[in-house]
Amino acid sequence: DGGITQSPKYLFRKEGQNVTLSCEQNLNHDAMYWYRQDPGQGLRLIYYSQIVNDFQKGDIAEGYSVSREKKESFPLTVTSAQKNPTAFYLCASSILAMGTGELFFGEGSRLTVL
Amino acid sequence: AQSVAQPEDQVNVAEGNPLTVKCTYSVSGNPYLFWYVQYPNRGLQFLLKYITGDNLVKGSYGFEAEFNKSQTSFHLKKPSALVSDSALYFCAVRDIQDTGGFKTIFGAGTRLFVKA
């Protein structure tokens, strides 16, 4: 089955540590996205990528980094510079198609800082 | 910049009754509008979208939405609610970037409770 796989589903981190969240898709989609979800705030865009080896900052990119070395993969690193990293992180992909394509989401990764 | 607003944090409805979840938008140009649903600790699932054409859009699980240009609204509706419809619903709009790329902007979400 085609889809998006995020791992790990749950992750605990000590303050000062970097962590990397994995996102893999086999939908052959060009565009991939990372969103952060906090209660009552909806989804906020962290980074997005429309083509391999290229990515753009979203609205809350500070303290995060990404790479897009393969079309299928778009890992997100939460660095120690992120002041409040505890959140639910969602990866998504879409076809570009002039912006009309809907987003396909993974099941999310819940990061808790101890 | 494009934006969407969901004026209700929560909607309560009895099973079997019609439901409406409200969304208003602010866009320049033609709006590309979407509805998604999220169940607890899960990713979002696409329900339906409006790109162009008929103002009444039909989607998954019996949901539909009406695009109203004069009222800048895109309300989600279902004729008869089910307990299993209880979830968090997000309205979204596609924003076109100066770079030619696209990103999706989400509303804050509306929690729907359907009581048996």
Q: pLDDT tens digits for A37-82?
A: 998 778 999 999 989 999 999 999 999 999 999 999 999 999 988 8
pLDDT for the residue B99: 67
Q: What is the pLDDT of residue A95?
A: 85
Q: How confident is the model at residue A96 (pLDDT cuts 50, 70, 90)?
A: confident
Indicate whether B98 pLDDT > 80.
no
Q: In Å, how far is A79's CA from the nearest CA of chain B?
A: 23
pLDDT-based confidence at residue B111 (cuts at 50, 70, 90): very high
Q: For residue A83, what pLDDT band results from cuts at 50, 70 and 90?
A: confident
Q: Do B106 and A43 touch (CB under 8 A)?
A: yes
Please tell me the distance from the alpha carbon of residue B101 to that of residue B17, in angstroms, as a whole number.
41
| CB nearest B49 (choices: A33, A102, A108) | A102
State whether B34 and A102 contact (CB < 8 Å): yes
Q: How far apart are CA B91 and CA B6, in angstroms?
A: 7
Q: Which residue has the higher pLDDT, A60 or A2?
A: A60
Instruction: Find chain A residues with C-beta within 8 A of B110's C-beta.
Output: none
Give pLDDT, residue A48. Answer: 92
pLDDT band at A99 (very low <50, low <70, confident <90, very high): low
User: Can you tell me whether residue B84 is helix, strand or coil?
Assistant: helix
Shortest CA gap A75–chain B (Å)? 17
pLDDT of the residue at A40: 75
More confidently predicted of A75 and A102: A75
Q: For the residues B14-21, what does the mean pLDDT come to?
A: 98
B62 φ, ψ (degrees, to nearest 5): 80, 5
Using CA atoms, how far apart are residues B42 and A5, in angstroms rounded to an integer?
A: 12
How many Cα atoms occupy the beta-carbon half-sphere of A87 within 13 Å?
22
Q: How confident is the model at residue B96 (pLDDT cuts 50, 70, 90)?
A: confident
Closest CA to B92 of B76, B70, B80, B81: B76
Instruction: Please report, in angstroms and rounded to a whole number, the separation of the first and last CA atoms in chain B.
Output: 41
Q: Provide the chain B residues 9-68 that lie in CB contact (below 8 A) with chain A.
A: 9, 32, 34, 36, 41-46, 49, 51
The CA distance from A36 to the nearest CA of chain B, in Å, is 11
Residue at token pair 């770079």: B99
Please tell me if residue A106 touches chain B, with a CB cutoff of 8 Å. Answer: yes
Residue B102 to residue A92: CA distance in whole angstroms: 13
Q: Is the CB of B109 less than 8 angstroms away from the CB of A103?
A: no
Which of the four pLDDT bands, split at 50, 70 and 90, describes residue A1?
Answer: low
Mean pLDDT of chain B: 93
Q: Which of A48, A58, A90 sits opposite B43 (nearest CB)?
A: A90
